[in-house]
C-alpha cells in the first residue's frame, strides 16, 4: 500500500511539473505571436519582413531580396494584365522564373556577397510598383534602383 501511495505521489508531481512546463511554453508562444502580429500589423510593411535591422542600416540576404523583387515584379505584371494566354508571360510561374533568373545573375554573384541594403531594396520595390503599365517590360528590367551596383552592400572581403 505504501509503494502504491509513493507511485501515486510521484505521478502527481510529474503531472504538475509537466503542466507548469506547458504553461511556460504557451506563454512563450503567446509572446512570439504578439511580436509577429506587431511586425506585420501594417500591410505595407509586410514586404519588409525578413530585413535584419542594424544600427542605422538594414541588411537583407541576397536570396530574400531576390524573392521580394520577383514578387513585386510579377505582381506588377498581374496588375498590368501581362500574364495569361497570348500575353507577355503565359503564367505567373513563367514570370517568376524569368525575373528570378535575371535577379539571381545580378545578386548571387560575388559582387553581392555581403547582402543587400534594405533601404535601397525598398527604393527598388517602390520603383517597380511605380512603373506604369504603359512602360515597356524592358523599362522594368532596367530600373537603375534595382541594379546590383545600387542594392549590394559595399564591403571588403575579409583578409
| Rounded CA separation 63/2 (Å) | 64
Radius of gyration of the chain (CA): 25
Can you give the pLDDT of all 159 residues of the chain as single tens digits?
555 444 444 444 444 444 444 444 444 444 333 333 333 333 344 455 444 444 456 889 989 999 999 999 999 999 999 999 999 899 999 999 999 998 888 787 667 888 899 999 999 999 999 999 988 777 777 898 998 889 998 865 555
Sign of CA dihedral 137, 142, 148, 150: negative
Q: Which three three-digit cell numbers place residue 145?
A: 534602383
Domain boundaries, the chain: 2-39, 52-151
Q: Kindly list the strands in the beta sheet with 116-117, ordered across the sheet, starting from the edge strand earlier in the chain.
A: 52-53, 58-60, 116-117
Amino acid at each position: 500500500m505504501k509503494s502504491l501511495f509513493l507511485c501515486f505521489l510521484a505521478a502527481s508531481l510529474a503531472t504538475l511539473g509537466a503542466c507548469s512546463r506547458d504553461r511556460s511554453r504557451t506563454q512563450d508562444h503567446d509572446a512570439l505571436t504578439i511580436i509577429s502580429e506587431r511586425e506585420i500589423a501594417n500591410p505595407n510593411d509586410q514586404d519588409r519582413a525578413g530585413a535584419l535591422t542594424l544600427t542605422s542600416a538594414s541588411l537583407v540576404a541576397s536570396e530574400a531580396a531576390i524573392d521580394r523583387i520577383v514578387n513585386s515584379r510579377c505582381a506588377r505584371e498581374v496588375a498590368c494584365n501581362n500574364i495569361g494566354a497570348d500575353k507577355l508571360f503565359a503564367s505567373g510561374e513563367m514570370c517568376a522564373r524569368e525575373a528570378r533568373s535575371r535577379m539571381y545573375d545580378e545578386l548571387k554573384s560575388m559582387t553581392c556577397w555581403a547582402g543587400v541594403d534594405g533601404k535601397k531594396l525598398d527604393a527598388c520595390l517602390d520603383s517597380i510598383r511605380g512603373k506604369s503599365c504603359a512602360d515597356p517590360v524592358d523599362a522594368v528590367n532596367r530600373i537603375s534602383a534595382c541594379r546590383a551596383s545600387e542594392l549590394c552592400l559595399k564591403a571588403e572581403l575579409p583578409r
